[in-house]
Amino acid sequence: MLTVFYDGTFEGFLTLLNNFVLEEKSLDGIKIQNAKFIQPQSELFYEEVVTNSEIAKNFFHYLKKNLPKELFEKIYIYYLCDTVKLEIPLINILREIEKNPNIWQDFSYDEVIKLHKAEKAFYRERHRWFGFLRFIELPNRVLFAKFEPKFNVLPKLWFHFVRRFPNEKLIIFDSLRKLLFLYKDRKKELIWMDDFEIEVSLKTDLFVTLWRSYFSQIAIPERQSYERQRNKIPLSIRKFLPEFWKIK
Amino acid sequence: MNSPQVLEKRKIYFYTKTKDIFQRLSILSVSARYDNSCSSSGGRRETHPYGLGNSHLSGICHSWSSDGRCISLLKILMTNYCMNNCKYCINRLINDVPRAILSPKEIADLTIEFYRRNYIEGLFLSSGVYRNPDYTMELMLKAIKILRFKYYFNGYIHLKLIPGASAELVKEAFSLADRVSSNLELPTEESLKRLAPDKTFFELYKPLKIVREIYNERKLKAPASTQIIVGATADTDKTIIKLANNLYRDKIVRRVYYSAYIPVNRDSDLPAIVEPPFLREHRLYQADWLLRFYGFSLDEIFEEDENLPLKIDPKLAWALRHLEFFPVEITRADYYELVRVPGIGPTSAKKIIKTRKYCELSDITLKKLGISLKRAKYFITIRGKPVVKISQSQAKALQERNLLLFSESKC
């Protein structure tokens, strides 16, 4: 089996789609991987898609022209659902759409259901991080947040915080994908950054202690249900929430 | 008989402003936790250019406490000192509990700092009645004014209206907050007389009525809510739901919260219970939902009994009483027919209606859509065919049972 790698950028994603949709490369025996998560060298037989801005741009215009507006707007979301491997279902739908323009709404196709479910899960994940993202105030009044979302939600998440805190200095870091968002003086930047680390502790911000105290008091003892709490806040994300930090 | 917690009034000690903020926050959050409201939805404020904060229409949950309830707002009392003596309340005057007060500025600062760190969506401010209702309401309004006009904070604010406060203060509170509330506490005047002798139904209802009168959007329910305690008196579920139904009908509130009675005091007028009636509270929420989103009427929910069945939910209970309504053919049924099927809610009903436009429905398609047929399968048909498939052994068992029943009836 041949594994095709793309570099995990949106341009790389569009170049990949172009190769399989317009150039009609065969999908038989093909596995597609995002190089952000798995290194190509780890596979025995692999091929790398060379990201080409020009091809990506042209394909983007092709999609804009040929797809229904609603579906076109979802393409970026499908790219951001990077952990559920939507590339092959999407290629299959894009190949079929000329013959059957309504295919993307027909839930009898497994591919359509997979795309639909992923899109819903993406917005659910984003909404979750609207609430779960925790800022810690650094000494220079910069608010710093680190998180590891299931999908690449940061490009669709920062807007919420910039709108909410227009006069603050913000740093939001997706440590799984090494994607960094910076906001200062109403200027914003989204960059891939491999080596970025800020050490934080309880002493960094005194309000963390106050919040932890509030959190422990607000629960009604007679209603205690750790099971319900665990259903809502999975253990995997608790390391990003100061109220769950274990203090020695 | 007096509670062991009870001390004379002169012995009540009062935490002053000098008390450490950690302790005061702790005391006031413990006192506020019995208020069930946690919603931050429905706000429509945009961020002020010089300030911070906006509201998200659908609301955002920021954490879940160990009792499984969502934490969306900084839920806190201004003070837990209270001149009332409600028998069910932890903060009643005669209780010997630590008392504390936060200044308006402290509340505003705490809200801003928690909000900046994305711990909360806004503030839920309530209070015991300190000195008199107007004085308490003014203190609370001072905190809100600091937030709105000094810090230009446009996040969500839920403000408790103090019963007995003047109409002017209620109007001001309504203009500054996203949602206001006044707890009706108990469903009838007699129950109030017994457990909250300082309160009358009229006094508790009045702030909600003022809000309804000044709310311009006549077609919509006023952005207010209320809370009713369940299980502290002998009032039936029908009495409680009837009150809620009237409040919804008159567009007085958007939401009624039901709170299972948790014994925090000892008093001869309070029921002795082993466990708080959490299941009953849950069934009341289900009945409330049936009224608001499923098109059920009060009489349909309470056809036979004044109380809801605890073993099964009220929709299933209705379905079992009305087997003539079933099976529902899901390829043709309209929205209100679909939502009457046990196991199919508004989301699944909308999915079914949307999907059947584009493709043929089958049990496999429904499963793929994430619609659970676990309960619904007994009440629906798909193109005239039942979804429940009976195996040979099951069919034989059914036949034997019928034979047995038949022979019994013959005898």
Cα→Cα distances A244→A212, A230, B66, Å: 8, 12, 11
pLDDT of amino acid B3: 38
pLDDT band of B79, cuts 50, 70, 90 = very high
Residue B303 has pLDDT above 50, yes or no: yes
pLDDT single digits (tens) B148-162: 999 999 999 999 999
pLDDT band of B359, cuts 50, 70, 90 = confident
Question: What are the backbone dihedrals phi and psi of residue B158, each rounded to the nearest 5 degrees, phi first?
Answer: -110, 125
pLDDT single digits (tens) B379-402: 999 988 888 766 677 667 766 765
pLDDT of amino acid B14: 42
pLDDT of amino acid B17: 43
Residue B343 has pLDDT above 60, yes or no: yes
Question: How far is Cα B344 from Cα B346, in angstroms, rounded to an integer?
Answer: 7
pLDDT of amino acid A248: 64
Question: What distance lies between CA A181 and its chain's CA centroid?
Answer: 13
Question: How far is Cα B177 from Cα B154, in angstroms, rounded to an integer?
Answer: 10
Nearest CA in chain B to A130: B60
pLDDT of amino acid B408: 46
Nearest CA in chain A to B263: A222
Question: Is A186 an 8 Å CB contact of chain B?
Answer: no
pLDDT of amino acid B402: 59
What value does the mean pLDDT of chain A take?
90
Q: Of B63, B285, B118, which Cα lies nearest the Cα of A219?
A: B63
pLDDT of amino acid B403: 65
pLDDT of amino acid B258: 97
Question: How far is Cα A177 from Cα A174, in angstroms, rounded to an integer?
Answer: 6
Number of Cβ pairs < 8 A linking chain A and chain B:
139
Q: CB–CB of A107 and B116 under 8 A? A: no
Instruction: Please give the average per-residue pLDDT across A15-23, as a whole number.
Output: 91
DSSP codes joined into one string, chain A: -EEEEE-SSHHHHHHHHHHHHTS----TTEEEEETTTS-GGGSSSEEEPPP-HHHHHHHHHHHHHHS-HHHHHHHHHHHH-TTS--HHHHHHHHHHTTT-TTGGG-TTSHHHHHHHHHHHHHHHHHHHHHHH---EE-TTSEEEEEE--SS--HHHHHHHHHHH-TTSEEEEEETTTTEEEEEETTEEEEEE-SS------GGG-HHHHHHHHHHHHSS-GGG--HHHHHHHS-GGGGGG-GGGPPP-
> Which is it for the CA torsion B387, B393, B394, B395, positive or negative?
positive
Q: CB–CB of A133 and B54 under 8 A? A: no
Residue B7 has pLDDT above 70, yes or no: no
Separation in Å, CA of A100 to nearest CA in chain B: 12
pLDDT single digits (tens) B161-185: 999 999 999 999 999 999 999 999 9
Instruction: Please give the average per-residue pLDDT across B82-89, as a whole number.
Output: 94
Question: How far is Cα A202 from Cα B111, in angstroms, rounded to an integer?
Answer: 19
Annotate B5-33 with b (16+ C-beta within 10 A) or e (fewer). ebeeeeeeeebeeebeeeebbbbbbbbbb
Q: Where are the domains of chain B?
A: 1-181, 205-311, 322-410
**Whether the Cβ atoms of residue A53 and residue A101 lie closer than 8 Å to each other:** no
Q: Where are the domains of chain A?
A: 2-120, 133-244
Separation in Å, CA of B53 to nearest CA in chain A: 5
pTM metric for this prediction: 0.88
pLDDT single digits (tens) A172-219: 999 999 999 999 999 999 999 888 888 777 677 889 999 999 999 999
Instruction: Please give the average per-residue pLDDT across B322-330, as a whole number.
Output: 91
pLDDT of amino acid A25: 80
pLDDT of amino acid B373: 86
Question: Is A132 an 8 Å CB contact of chain B?
Answer: yes
pLDDT band of B13, cuts 50, 70, 90 = very low
Q: Token pair for residue A155?
A: 């490009």
Instruction: Please give the average per-residue pLDDT across A126-139, as a whole number.
Output: 94
Residue ranges in B227-277 assigned as alpha helix (H): 237-249
pLDDT single digits (tens) A31-74: 898 988 888 777 778 888 899 999 999 999 999 998 989 899 99
Q: CB–CB of B117 and A213 under 8 A? A: no
Q: CB–CB of B66 and A105 under 8 A? A: no
Amino acid at the residue A216: S
Query: Within 10 A of B291 (CB to CB), how many other CB atoms are there?
Result: 20
pLDDT of amino acid B11: 36
What value does the mean pLDDT of chain B take?
89
Residues of B in contact with A165 (CB under 8 A): 52, 116
Q: CB–CB of B110 and A135 under 8 A? A: no
pLDDT of amino acid B401: 65
pLDDT of amino acid B395: 64
pLDDT band of B219, cuts 50, 70, 90 = confident
Residue B409 has pLDDT above 70, yes or no: no
Q: CB–CB of A232 and B68 under 8 A? A: yes
Question: How far is Cα B38 from Cα B121, in angstroms, rounded to an integer?
Answer: 10
Percentage of residues of chain A with pLDDT beyond 90: 66
Instruction: Please give the average per-residue pLDDT across B229-242, as a whole number.
Output: 96
Query: Within 10 A of B321 (CB to CB), how many other CB atoms are there?
Result: 12
Candidates A102, A106, A108, A230: best to mutate against B (most CBs of B within 10 A) is A108
pLDDT of amino acid A79: 95
- Who has greater pLDDT, A40 or B129? B129
Matching residue, tokens 């702030």 = B207
Q: CB–CB of A117 and B63 under 8 A? A: no
Separation in Å, CA of A44 to nearest CA in chain B: 35
Question: How far is Cα A158 from Cα A135, in angstroms, rounded to an integer?
Answer: 13
Residue A141 has pLDDT above 60, yes or no: yes
pLDDT band of B110, cuts 50, 70, 90 = very high
ipTM of the complex: 0.92
Q: CB–CB of A165 and B49 under 8 A? A: no
Annotate B350-383 with b (16+ C-beta within 10 A) or e (fewer). ebbeebbeeeebebebbebbebebeebbbbbbbe
Nearest CA in chain A to B260: A223
pLDDT of amino acid B5: 38
Amino acid at the residue A121: A
